[in-house]
């Protein structure tokens, strides 16, 4: 009785590899991404020609996306409510109201995004008092178990390994602080190799 569901699961899903063929379109949720079931380009209602190579890029710049659901009814969603999209085999996810290219796809994603960061300190008694901000390029990790995004640093890598892989966590904690900071990408890759992301094969 237990073997049948496992075999069905194996037929319906495959571990992610670079050869995996993502369907082009827009993902409303992480689950849609895992099911490889986006809103297809052919379902999108737009004045821009669907045959154009940059069709998805053009649509993503609109405030709303209108599309026909599987029953043929028109639906309208805010672009910034999308989880992400796929174009030319590239996955981009919505973070901080921008769509950012995913550099590493796995159970733990890795991507780079620009964030507006406060810098410096100014005397509050000064007439020119205020907080200065600067655009900073930073790396982030997405946990596909929870759909949570955190800064990609040693502290958060430690927490993820502690939660999901005690063996790798023990290895990681045995490293000195500087070595930890230098090894976070290595342990992200080790984790993804041990715990591959399974996607719908349909």
| Local confidence pLDDT in tens for the 202 residues of the chain | 444 443 334 458 999 999 999 999 999 999 999 999 999 999 999 999 988 888 998 999 999 999 999 999 999 999 999 999 999 899 999 999 999 999 999 999 999 999 877 776 555 566 555 667 788 899 999 999 999 999 999 999 999 999 999 999 999 999 999 999 999 999 999 999 999 999 998 7
Report how far apart, in Å, the C-alpha atoms of 66 and of each of 9, 38, 41, 105 are.
Answer: 33, 14, 11, 28
**Length of the chain in residues, anyone?**
202
| The pLDDT value given to residue 23 | 95
| The pLDDT value given to residue 44 | 95
| The pLDDT value given to residue 123 | 58
| The pLDDT value given to residue 7 | 37
C-alpha–C-alpha distance, residues 156 and 162, integer Å: 10
| The pLDDT value given to residue 125 | 62
C-alpha–C-alpha distance, residues 151 and 44, integer Å: 34
| The pLDDT value given to residue 117 | 79
| The pLDDT value given to residue 135 | 83
Write down the pTM of the prediction. 0.84
99 touches 92 (CB < 8 A): yes
Residue of 84, 112, 91, 110 lying closest to 21 (CA atoms)? 91
DSSP state letter for 42: G
| The pLDDT value given to residue 54 | 87
Question: Reading across the β-sheet that carries 25-27, which strands appear in turn?
Answer: 39-40, 25-27, 84-87, 90-95, 98-104, 108-119, 132-143, 148-151
Estimate to the nearest angstrom the gap between the alpha carbon of 39 and the chain centroid: 17
Task: Tell me the sheet residues that pair with 111.
Answer: 102, 140
| The pLDDT value given to residue 191 | 98
Contacts of 197 (CB under 8 A, 6+ apart): 15, 16, 34, 105, 106, 107, 144
Task: Tell me the sheet residues that pair with 121.
Answer: none
In the three-class reduction of DSSP (H, G, I as helix; E, B as strand; rest coil), residue 193 is classed as helix
């Amino acid at each position: 009785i237990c073997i049948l569901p496992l075999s069905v699961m194996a037929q319906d899903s495959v571990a992610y590899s670079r050869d995996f063929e993502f369907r082009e379109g827009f993902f409303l949720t992480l689950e849609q991404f895992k099911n490889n079931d986006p809103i297809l380009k052919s379902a999108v209602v737009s004045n821009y020609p669907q045959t154009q190579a940059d069709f998805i890029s053009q649509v993503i710049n609109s405030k709303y996306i209108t599309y026909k659901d599987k029953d043929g009814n028109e639906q309208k969603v805010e672009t910034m409510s999308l989880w992400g999209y796929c174009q030319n085999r590239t996955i981009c996810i919505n973070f901080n109201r921008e769509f950012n290219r995913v550099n590493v796809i796995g159970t733990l994603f890795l991507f780079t995004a620009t964030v507006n960061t406060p810098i410096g300190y100014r005397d509050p008694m000064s007439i020119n008092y205020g907080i200065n901000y600067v655009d900073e390029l930073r790396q982030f990790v997405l946990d596909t178990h929870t759909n949570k995004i955190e800064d990609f640093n040693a502290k958060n890598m430690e927490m993820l390994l502690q939660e999901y892989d005690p063996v790798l966590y023990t290895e990681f904690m045995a490293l000195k602080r500087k070595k930890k900071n230098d090894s976070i990408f290595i342990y992200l890759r080790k984790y993804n190799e041990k715990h591959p992301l399974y996607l719908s094969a349909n």
